[in-house]
């Protein structure tokens, strides 16, 4: 697969709710189940839910205040995701469900989220998998203009590289959804057909998740550590001369 530039000249039309996505109710449920084990260990006072789909995915978040941010009318804070109206290091958790696929500049979206996130804060990302069988289904007639095939695809490894450049430690990652998102009647879309090939080969599943934490390492050691290091590494001359005298005798 050719690696295309992340920056594009036009903005992709993003789905405003999960029912705009093929098998959206089922996919949302799968992402909830995948993230459920990690919410109890993610603590904080303020959490940003970026994009219109993040609210439903992060229902298990234990943050005191959940703030939905996007350009739609249903957002608690109406703003563009590449220019967040929050001060530096002011939030503890950032959730981005299928945000990078529809961003004109995903690097800037990540930088803005990183600017607002405090030290040792958590970033949770979900996205579509470009290696999945669902990508082939998107090539069928009548499917190309529907989500999730209207967005762009970034591999899990590529997004993890972007996070590593911003000093994030990946705590957990994995693939979601044992299905190819094959077209089905609307009333059955909540129960997408399970694909045995996706169950055997996880990297063929329709999506993935990443749970990362912002790490900050000091550029210079503390003065106390320097004094301790000097005391350990510097030999005592009196003891050295005494040892030599005993050896000669």
Q: Where are the alpha helices (DSSP H) in 17-165?
A: 24-35, 54-57, 106-116, 134-137, 156-165
pLDDT over 60 (residue 237): no
Distant-in-sequence, close-in-space partners of 231: CB < 8 Å, separation ≥ 6: none
Give the domain ranges of the chain.
18-221
The band of 1, judged by pLDDT with boundaries at 50, 70 and 90, is very low
Summarize the confidence of residues 239-249 as an average pLDDT.
48
d(CA 119, CA 214): 6
Which residue shows structure tokens 């220019």? 83
Per-residue model confidence (pLDDT) at position 191: 58
* Least confident residue range of 18-22, 85-89, 107-111: 18-22
- DSSP for 147-197, written as a single string: BTTTS----HHHHHHHHHHTTEEEEEEEEE-S-------GGGTTSPPP-HH
CA 123, 148, 27, 3 dihedral sign is negative
- pLDDT tens digits, residue range 53-103? 999 999 999 999 999 999 988 899 999 999 999 999 999 999 999 999 999
Q: Are the beta carbons of 208 and 129 closer than 8 angstroms?
A: yes
Secondary structure element (H or E) that encloses residue 67, with its range: strand 65-70
- Which CATH superfamily groups domain 18-221? Vaccinia Virus protein VP39 (3.40.50.150)
**What's the whole-number average pLDDT of the chain?**
83
């Amino acid at each position: 697969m050719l690696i295309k530039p992340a920056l594009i000249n036009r903005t992709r039309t993003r789905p405003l709710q999960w029912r705009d996505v093929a098998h959206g109710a089922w996919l949302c449920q799968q992402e909830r189940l995948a993230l459920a084990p990690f919410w109890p260990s993610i603590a904080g006072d303020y959490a940003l839910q970026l994009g219109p789909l993040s609210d439903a995915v992060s229902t298990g978040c234990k943050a005191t205040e959940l703030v939905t941010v996007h350009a739609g009318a249903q957002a608690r804070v109406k703003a563009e995701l590449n220019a967040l109206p929050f001060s530096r290091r002011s939030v503890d958790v950032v959730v981005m469900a299928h945000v990078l696929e529809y961003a004109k500049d995903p690097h800037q979206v990540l930088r803005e989220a990183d600017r607002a996130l405090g030290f040792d804060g958590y970033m949770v990302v979900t996205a579509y998998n470009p290696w999945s069988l669902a990508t082939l289904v998107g090539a069928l007639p009548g499917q190309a203009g529907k989500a999730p095939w209207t967005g762009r695809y970034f591999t899990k490894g590529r997004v993890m590289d972007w996070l590593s450049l911003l000093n994030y430690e990946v705590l957990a990652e994995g693939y979601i959804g044992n299905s190819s998102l094959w077209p089905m009647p609307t009333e059955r879309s909540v129960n997408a057909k399970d694909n045995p090939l996706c169950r055997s080969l996880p990297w063929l599943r329709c999506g993935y998740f990443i749970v990362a934490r912002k790490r900050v390492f000091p550029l210079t050691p503390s003065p106390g550590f320097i004094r301790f290091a000097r005391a350990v590494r510097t030999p005592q001359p009196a003891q050295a001369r005494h040892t030599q005298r005993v050896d000669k005798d």
